[in-house]
């Protein structure tokens, strides 16, 4: 499961939706629990990532610390996020994601993020 998480974040950092969608079920539920965002399915999730990438010069996730469910269905990860804004300034965050695995893909992603919501839904 750790490899699947790292693949997901590689897709996010490389702005590669194909990689991201290889890790998510078609009907994946993606929520940002700290900001009352709930999205379902690839189309809604695509819009969220399109906005994230449009609003930042780049994003980077690293310093991963994993906690795996012994039953093999869930994994949690704490990590650092660095976002570069278009003016060149950097924003640092400490986040946690909780992933539920179904048939080798994530059926649910729950995000807990510090600071401003960078994974918003369309307004």
Mean pLDDT of 86-104: 95
Decide if pLDDT at 119 tops 80.
no
What is the band of 121 on the pLDDT scale with cuts at 50, 70, 90?
low
- Per the model's pLDDT, the better-predicted residue between 24 and 72 turns out to be 24
User: What are the strands, taking DSSP E only, across the chain?
Assistant: 24-32, 37-40, 58-68, 74-84, 90-102, 105-112
Beta bridge partners of 60: 82
Fold classified for 2-112: Nuclear Transport Factor 2; Chain: A, (3.10.450)
Decide if pLDDT at 117 tops 80.
no
The tokens 């992603």 sit on which residue? 109
What's the pTM value of the predicted model, to 2 decimals? Answer: 0.92
How many angstroms separate the CA atoms of 112 and 114, rounded? 7
Cα dihedral sign for 104, 109, 114, 115? positive
Chain CA centroid to CA 56, Å? 15
Pairing between β-strand 37-40 and β-strand 24-32 as defined by DSSP bridges: antiparallel
Mean pLDDT of 91-102: 95
Mean pLDDT of 41-62: 95
- Per the model's pLDDT, the better-predicted residue between 34 and 122 turns out to be 34
Break the chain into its structural domains and give their ranges. Answer: 2-112
Token pair for 64: 């991963």
């Amino acid at each position: 499961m750790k490899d699947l998480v790292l693949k997901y974040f590689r897709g996010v950092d490389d702005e590669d939706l194909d990689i991201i969608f290889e890790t998510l079920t078609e009907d994946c539920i993606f929520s940002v629990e700290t900001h009352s965002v709930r999205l379902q399915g690839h189309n809604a999730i695509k819009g969220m990532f399109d906005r994230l990438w449009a609003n930042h010069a780049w994003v980077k996730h690293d310093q991963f610390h994993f906690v795996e469910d012994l039953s093999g269905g869930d994994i949690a990860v704490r990590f650092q996020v660095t976002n570069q804004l278009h003016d060149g300034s950097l924003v640092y965050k400490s986040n946690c994601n909780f992933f539920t695995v179904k048939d080798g893909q994530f059926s649910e992603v729950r995000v807990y993020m510090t600071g401003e919501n960078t994974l918003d839904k369309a307004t």
